[in-house]
């Protein structure tokens, strides 16, 4: 099954490659115009970071805005960004001395009001931020003086600094009060190295380097004048565009197609493993497919998929097979003691028969990216009698169906919004929130304790117990970590990082 999927994908790649080679010498118009052209597959749900959790929105969030702290992507060391220093006042309170002289793109001054208004607004459940898991730990943010604030958590929250360094950008208070999330989406204003100069929803975003970006930032001053991001859902079209010189950079390229690109003289292929995990979640709640309520069926699905073969033939790029639902590098992530469901189609069929489904059953499978991986999974399921029907759609639509409990199997990927802590992964899907389709109260209680326990040893033990229950009940199939293949013009100085974030401000023309 996997080999058939691979052959089809390779044939498509070869066809696109042939198309690209019909074009003349590589176009350098984008370099001459000092404009980096990038194509991406998913449109942001909103450019307001707190009302989006599609990866392109995360990329824009890090490009257009700044956070209080900065986490080095290689050493993971924390540095001051909008804050110049910080201290832990008590187990629930962080105090920040803020930088003076920082301005937002619209000329508004950055100060304590910016921090207080932004974080208090988005952490208020009434304002319905999409990324509740990122802000629900905040009790309140207090202004001490014009350039000093205190961030107070509801309970001790050991991961607070990582969130404040990655996924909680600060907005201009006066502007955000005036326009709100809708206005921030329509005309974004940040303090980051690039500003948004044009946004056509669903089609493109144009960024321009911010000449007034503050010099003391731990991030580099931007070098490329403009970045133009086009939304092109079709992978073959994105490939053709980068081959013809119409685009300078694409990402999330399938393994076999990226390998074909390595033979094109004017292109470079860069890859690396990331924090993003891939898993097949199963809806066990009322309203979901009846077969998935039986743990024997869920375990049969786990045994039906040859994860090693899919990683080798389709995923590639240093991906590693997972055994629990978390990113291996995250604080608190472990697979110690968790059951391992090895590829065993005979056992899968036996479990299905024991559960009363000797001839299998029909089920929907939802997915939004890495379609070739979903198709391989479907082939393995069909081999044991499970007829999985693919529903491939944009992320937000899929998420809304899942939250309405209208899904059966969901092929999820999750990058933890850059946060390198288990609190940003496992509790999102098993902590009782909108995306939890198993609602195991014992798991929720253990994850809550892990999130709020300061003692590192005890914290890890809580997470371990929760991860083991999830695995033992087979609420999901942990699949693999997801590497990213980038294809870019050789004229671009570009580096890939494990947090899956293209850092436009570091890029330059050769």
3-state secondary structure of 228: strand
Cα-to-chain-centroid distance, residue 383: 31
Ranges of the chain with pLDDT below 70: 1-29
pLDDT at 449: 97
CATH number of the 49-224 domain? 3.40.190.10
pLDDT at 25: 40
Question: Per DSSP, which regions of 165-209 are E strands?
Answer: 194-200, 204-209
C-alpha closest to that of 37 among 242, 252, 266: 242
pLDDT tens per residue, range 223-235: 999 999 999 999 9
DSSP state of 459: H
Dist. CA 149–CA 117, nearest whole Å: 11
Our CA dihedral for 55, 338, 421, 150, rounded to 10 degrees, sits at 130
Q: What angle do CA 85, 89, 94 make, to 5 degrees?
A: 55
pLDDT at 298: 98
- Burial of residue 202 (CB within 10 Å: 0-12, 13-18, 19+) is exposed
Question: Per DSSP, which regions of 323-475 are E strands?
Answer: 361-367, 386-392, 409-414
pLDDT at 459: 97
C-alpha closest to that of 31 among 494, 495, 502: 494
Q: Where are the domains of the chain?
A: 49-224, 277-481
Q: Which residues contact 108 (CB under 8 A, 6 or more apart)?
A: 172, 173, 174, 175, 189
Dist. CA 232–CA 247, nearest whole Å: 11
pLDDT at 335: 97
CATH 3.10.105.10 given to domain 277-481:
yes
- The CB-side HSE value for 407 (13 A sphere, CA atoms) comes to 27
pLDDT at 124: 97
**Residue whose tokens read 């253990």:** 446
pLDDT at 20: 46
pLDDT at 16: 46
């Amino acid at each position: 099954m996997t080999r058939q999927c691979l052959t089809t994908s390779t044939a498509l790649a070869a066809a696109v490659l042939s198309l690209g080679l019909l074009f003349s010498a590589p176009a350098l118009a984008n370099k001459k115009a000092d404009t980096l052209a990038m194509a991406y597959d998913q449109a942001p749900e909103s450019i307001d970071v707190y009302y989006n959790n599609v990866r392109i929105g995360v990329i824009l969030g890090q490009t257009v805005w700044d956070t209080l702290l900065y986490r080095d992507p290689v050493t993971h060391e924390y540095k001051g960004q909008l804050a110049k220093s910080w201290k832990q006042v008590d187990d629930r309170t962080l105090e920040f001395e803020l930088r003076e002289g920082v301005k937002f793109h619209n000329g508004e001054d950055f100060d304590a009001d910016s921090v207080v208004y932004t974080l208090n607004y988005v952490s208020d459940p009434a304002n319905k931020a999409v990324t509740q898991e990122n802000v629900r730990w905040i009790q309140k943010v207090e202004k001490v003086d014009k350039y000093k604030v205190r961030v107070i958590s509801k309970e001790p929250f050991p991961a607070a600094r990582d969130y404040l360094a990655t996924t909680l950008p600060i907005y201009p208070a006066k502007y955000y009060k005036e326009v709100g999330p809708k206005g921030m989406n329509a005309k974004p204003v940040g303090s980051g190295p690039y500003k948004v100069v044009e946004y056509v929803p669903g089609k493109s975003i144009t960024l321009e380097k911010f000449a007034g970006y503050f010099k003391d930032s731990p991030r580099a001053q931007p070098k490329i004048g403009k970045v133009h991001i086009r939304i092109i859902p079709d992978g073959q079209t994105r490939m053709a565009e980068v081959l013809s010189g119409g685009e300078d950079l694409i990402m999330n390229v399938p393994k076999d197609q990226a390998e074909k690109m390595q033979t094109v003289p004017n292109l470079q292929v860069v890859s690396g493993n990331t924090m993003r995990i891939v898993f097949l979640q199963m809806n066990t709640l009322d309203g979901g497919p009846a077969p998935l309520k039986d743990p024997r069926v869920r375990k049969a699905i786990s045994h039906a998929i040859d994860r090693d073969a899919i990683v080798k033939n389709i995923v590639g790029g240093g991906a590693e097979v997972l055994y629990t639902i978390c990113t291996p590098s995250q604080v608190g992530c472990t697979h110690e003691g968790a059951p391992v469901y090895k590829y065993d189609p005979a056992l899968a069929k036996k479990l299905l028969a024991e559960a009363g489904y000797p001839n299998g059953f029909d089920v929907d499978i939802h997915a939004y990216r890495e379609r070739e991986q979903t198709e391989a999974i479907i082939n393995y399921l069909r081999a044991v009698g499970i007829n999985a029907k693919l529903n491939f759609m944009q992320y937000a639509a899929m998420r809304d169906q899942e939250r309405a409990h209208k899904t059966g199997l969901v092929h999820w990927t999750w990058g933890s919004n850059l946060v390198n802590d288990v609190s940003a992964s496992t509790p999102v899907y098993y902590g009782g929130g909108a995306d939890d389709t198993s609602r195991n109260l014992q798991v929720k209680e253990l994850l809550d304790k892990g999130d709020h326990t300061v003692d590192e040893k005890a914290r890890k033990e809580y997470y371990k117990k929760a991860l083991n229950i999830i695995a033992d009940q087979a609420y999901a199939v942990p699949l693999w970590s997801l590497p990213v293949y980038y294809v870019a013009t050789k004229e671009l100085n570009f580096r890939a990082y494990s947090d899956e974030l293209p850092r436009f401000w570091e890029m330059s023309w050769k």
